[in-house]
Structure 1
Amino acid sequence: MDARKVLVTGASGGIGRAIAQRLTDDGYQIINIDLVEPRNPVSGEVWIKADLTNVEEARTALEPLVKSGDVLRIVNNAGFIRPATLENTSIEDFQAVVDLNLRAPILVTQALMPAMRQAKFGRVVNISSRASLGKELRTAYSATKAGMLGMTRTWAMEAAADGVTVNAIGPGPIATELFLSGNPPDSPKTRQIMETIPVKRMGTPEDIAHAVASLIDDRAGYITGQVLYVCGGMTAGISHTA
């Protein structure tokens, strides 16, 4: 088995692209399931075009990976936001966010978990969000990202005896290309956001990629069921309860 393969969903841009680059630099081969083709593929990258909100399309995309049985690391990164107040959150938008942010990670992890159990080794990293703790205009998004934390802890307990670790990362404000397109660095809104961050800067996609690289490593076998907030200290004063 080639234990150096990593499936990263939604790796064609933003945080996913930074994860793909960092893990490639660390010697892994990236398998990227995304509806959009990466503009700058990393060395050895395999791109599988698929809409993960479509159950049959997702299963078809995963089928060759299941048959190969050698993909023992997953980064469930694909996700999106439909920002709206509670009153303006439509059931259709809510369902769309659930389909990608929650159902897709279930489909992906279900498909590849048997190979991990058989190999007595596996790494799963779920990309959640600081918004799981609550954020305005994020009813659908915060609900799914909080749900991802519950799944992370549950999967960790179920898979631990087989050498499979499952952890989550909760990014704070990250200066992705999409974020910066609506929030220029010198805008009052962006400066206001930075004032709420103890380290007084926006996070970068590379900050998240570094955290992923740590948890995906062979040597991270004693860390499971945890959430690591990569948020510049924004959650430091928040009390976390089960």
Structure 2
Amino acid sequence: MNDTQRVAIVTGAARGIGAAVARRLATDGHAVAVLDLDEAACGAVVAEIEAAGGRGLAVGVDVTDEEGVTEAVRRVTEALGAPTMLVNNAGIIRDNVLLKMSADDWDSVVAVHLRGAFLLSRAVAAPMREAGFGRIVNLSSTSALGNRGQANYSAAKAGIQGLTKTLAIELGRYGVTANAIAPGFIETDMTAATAARVGMDFEEFKQAAASQIPVARTGRPDDIAHAVSFFASEGAGFVSGQVLYVAGGPRA
């Protein structure tokens, strides 16, 4: 448990990586706002947090909606206090090879991942500056290095890394750090959807992925939550502008 309880916002937190991160930050002693497109879907995670003695709040928001983001942060501040931790995890996939990818598929993926991270980061920067403390953790991906069928996703996740480094430069003087985590293969609904897209059984898909990973297994949401916990900690104040590949092995 941390000596100081902070208020954290985690986007895309109704399930998967985001839910694991929300639960971990609550275990670390922080109040956690669980944000997702469907507010009702956040209820189960909040219930878990509260059952364990923590404070949680479910907030429905489209992270690409500027006014919606402003209202969501207002609600969090009113119910839990000013947010000084932000985990930008919300994301979608619309995979296809370049010649078959529509402009809408490009725009929607870039908007959720990149515009969403920008809007949330901007919205919490002021309370972080006022508090003299802030932790921003952005979810990138190994796909930022390039991945067939994911021109939109890869571009967005590479953009997240550039955004992270710039936030670290601009906000560091206020006691705010910004770091990114680039997961490899993590067992989530999103990777299950990828398996379905390529016509593979998910278990076979995981086994095939694990055979290419040095630690000989695929990742789990808690692997990412552990890394977020470190970046969000008081002791990580001298770590900023970094990209940590949590992928079971090195990435070039």
Q: Give the TM-score, by structure 2 length.
A: 0.87
Paired residue secondary structure (1:6): strand
TM-aligned CA deviation for residue 4 of structure 1: 1.4
Matched, 1:56 2:72: no
> Who is 1:33 aligned against?
35
Paired residue secondary structure (2:100): coil
The superposition leaves residues 36-72 of structure 1 with CA deviations (integer Å, 9 ceiling, x where unpaired) of 2223422221011112222332222223346786211
> Who is 2:8 aligned against?
6
Give the one of 166, 173, 186 matched to 2:185: 173
TM-aligned CA deviation for residue 180 of structure 1: 4.1
Structure 2 counterpart of 1:193, one-letter code: A
Does the 8 Å CA contact 1:3/1:72 hold for their aligned counterparts? no
Structure 2 counterpart of 1:210, one-letter code: H
User: 2-side partners of 1:93 and 1:186: how far apart?
Assistant: 27
Which deviates the most, 3-12 or 178-187?
178-187
Matched, 1:211 2:227: yes
TM-aligned CA deviation for residue 218 of structure 1: 0.8
Moved over 3 A (4+): 64-69, 180-186
User: 2-side partners of 1:216 and 1:28: how far apart?
Assistant: 10
> Who is 1:106 aligned against?
118
User: 2-side partners of 1:179 and 1:125: how far apart?
Assistant: 21
The unaligned stretches of length 5 or more in structure 2 are none
TM-aligned CA deviation for residue 33 of structure 1: 1.5
Matched, 1:195 2:211: yes
TM-aligned CA deviation for residue 177 of structure 1: 4.1
User: 2-side partners of 1:7 and 1:195: how far apart?
Assistant: 35
The unaligned stretches of length 5 or more in structure 1 are none
User: 2-side partners of 1:178 and 1:143: how far apart?
Assistant: 17
Paired residue secondary structure (2:98): coil
TM-aligned CA deviation for residue 190 of structure 1: 2.8
Identity of aligned residues (%): 39
> Who is 1:72 aligned against?
84
Distance 1:30 1:196, change over 3 A: same
User: 1-side partners of 2:190 and 2:103: how far apart?
Assistant: 25
Q: How does 1:11-160 map to 2 (within 5 A)?
A: 11-36=13-38, 37-38=41-42, 39-41=44-46, 42-43=49-50, 44-65=55-76, 70-160=82-172
User: 2-side partners of 1:103 and 1:3: how far apart?
Assistant: 29
Structure 2 counterpart of 1:200, one-letter code: A
Structure 2 counterpart of 1:198, one-letter code: P
Structure 2 counterpart of 1:97, one-letter code: V
Does the 8 Å CA contact 2:23/2:45 hold for their aligned counterparts? no
Computed over aligned residues only, the root mean square deviation of the Cα atoms, in angstroms, reads: 1.8
Does the 8 Å CA contact 1:197/1:234 hold for their aligned counterparts? no
Does the 8 Å CA contact 2:87/2:138 hold for their aligned counterparts? yes
> Who is 1:224 aligned against?
240
User: 2-side partners of 1:34 and 1:13: how far apart?
Assistant: 9
Q: Give the TM-score, by structure 1 length.
A: 0.90
Aligned residues between the structures: 234
Does the 8 Å CA contact 1:53/1:96 hold for their aligned counterparts? no
Paired residue secondary structure (1:48): strand
